[in-house]
Amino acid sequence: MLRFISILFIQIFFYFSLTASATAADVTGAGSSAAAPLYNKWAEIFQKKSNLTIEYLPQGSSAGIKKIKEKSVDFGASDVAMSPEDLKKFNLIQFPSAISGVAAVVNVPGIKAGELRLTGSALAGIFSRKISKWNDAEIIALNPNLHLPNKNIEVIVRSDGSGTTYNFTDYLSKMSKDWQASYGKNFSISWHKELSAVKGSSSIVASLKKTPYAISYIDFNYVVQDKLDFAQLKNRDGNFVTPSAASFSAALNASTWKSLGTFDEMLTDKPGNNAWPITMGTFVIMQQSSANPEKATTTLKFYTWAFMSGDQFVNSVDLVRLPDQVQARAFKEMTKVTDANGKPLAWSKL
Give the pLDDT of the chain (350 residues) as one tens digit per residue: 434 334 333 333 333 333 333 345 699 999 999 999 999 999 999 999 999 999 999 999 999 999 999 999 999 999 999 999 999 999 999 999 999 999 999 999 999 999 999 999 999 999 999 999 999 999 999 999 999 999 999 999 999 999 999 999 999 999 999 999 999 999 999 999 999 999 999 999 999 999 999 999 999 999 999 999 999 999 999 999 999 999 999 999 999 998 888 898 999 999 999 999 999 999 999 999 999 999 999 999 999 999 999 988 998 888 999 988 899 999 999 999 999 999 999 887 66
Domain annotation covers residue 71: yes
Verify that 152 and 64 share a domain, yes or no.
Answer: no
Domain annotation covers residue 260: yes
Domain annotation covers residue 13: no
Domain annotation covers residue 81: yes
Verify that 130 and 95 share a domain, yes or no.
Answer: no
Verify that 325 and 246 share a domain, yes or no.
Answer: no
- Position 3 scores a pLDDT of 41
- Number of domains comprising the chain: 2
Domain annotation covers residue 7: no
- Phi, psi of 196, deg, nearest 5: -95, 115
Domain boundary among 256, 278, 300: 278
Domain around 328: 27-99+280-339
Domain annotation covers residue 9: no
Verify that 142 and 272 share a domain, yes or no.
Answer: yes
CATH number of the domain where residue 133 is located: 3.40.190.10
The structure's pTM equals 0.89
Give the number of other CB atoms < 10 A from CB of residue 43.
21
Q: Where do the DSSP E strands lie in the chain?
A: 27-31, 54-58, 75-78, 92-107, 117-118, 154-158, 196-198, 214-219, 229-230, 232-234, 240-241, 279-287, 289-290, 338-339
Verify that 51 and 191 share a domain, yes or no.
Answer: no
Verify that 221 and 156 share a domain, yes or no.
Answer: yes
Verify that 166 and 313 share a domain, yes or no.
Answer: no
